[in-house]
Structure 1
Amino acid sequence: MMLFLPMGFALDEASPAFKSETINRGQKAEANTLVFLKANGPSALAAGTALKALRKLHNDGKLDAQIAQFHERAVNGSIVDPTPASALPVFIRLQPNL
């Protein structure tokens, strides 16, 4: 869902507001993801259904623009995320060999 935060995000584990910031970003990403799904295929509300729809869209190449924008934002420093690369899906890792 990080793909659907168009302005990027910065998360700092040391921040006292880390949990609330993470929840807020997650809610915004969820809302943007549902809008994207509704515009590009089935509108899915359940997590499993949404994930299945996103996989299909990814296989069909319909997430390519979002993935490219995510990589661009990460390289430009618009995305600061403490998540280890190994925990991210392969298609959004900047170093796919991790």
Structure 2
Amino acid sequence: MLFLPTGFALDVSSPTFKSEVLVLGKQAQGNALAFLKKHGSSAAAAGTALKALRKIHKLGKLNDHIAQYHDRLDQGAVVDPTPSAALPAFIRVKPSQ
């Protein structure tokens, strides 16, 4: 979500829902790994990447991505059937400006 710059719209009733999720996931993964590399991490495995993202988040370097995600969400550019309770806490809360 944070690494999809143009937003997305998912509809669970769509017959292409699963393939859309896979395509978006691959795009987000590539963007996330590029972001990590830009910030000095060579993480590729999920656990290692998550650990690196947590470290980067503590430094405040994810705040712009989180704020942009919330902007896209507020503008309706993100339509996601995922319940907000299932999202990581740092995504649910808008960063203070």
TM bucket (normalised to shorter chain) is over 0.9
1:52 to 2:51 alignment: yes
Deviation of 1:12 (Å): 0.2
SS at match of 1:44: coil
CA separation of 1:94/1:10 partners in 2, compared to 1, >3 Å: closer, same or farther? Answer: farther
Residue 88 of structure 1, CA deviation: 0.5
Q: What runs of 5+ residues in structure 2 fail to find an aligned partner?
A: none
The aligned runs of 1:30-49 (5 Å cut-off) are 30-49=29-48
The alignment of Structure 1 onto Structure 2 pairs a total of residues equal to 94
> What TM-score, normalized by structure 1, do the two folds share?
0.92
Listed one character per residue, the Cα deviations across residues 37-92 of structure 1 (whole Å, up to 9, x for unaligned) are: 00012121111110000000000100000000000000000000000010001121
Cα-to-partner distance string for 1:2-38 (whole Å, 9 max, x where unaligned): 1000000100000000000000000000000000000
Higher relative contact order (CA 8 A, sep 6+): 2
State whether structure 2 residue 75 is matched by structure 1 residue 76: yes
Once residues 91 and 55 of structure 2 are traced to their aligned partners in structure 1, the CA distance between those partners, rounded to angstroms, is 16
* Stretches (4+) displaced over 3 A: none
Aligned residue for 2:2, secondary structure, equals helix
Q: CA RMSD in A?
A: 1.1
Distance in 2 between the 1:8 and 1:94 partners?
18
Bigger shift: residues 86-95 or 16-25: 86-95
For residue 88 of structure 1, what is the aligned residue in structure 2? 87
Q: Unpaired runs of 5+ in structure 1?
A: none
Query: What is the percent sequence identity of the aligned residues?
Result: 62
State the SS of the aligned residue for 2:11.
Answer: coil
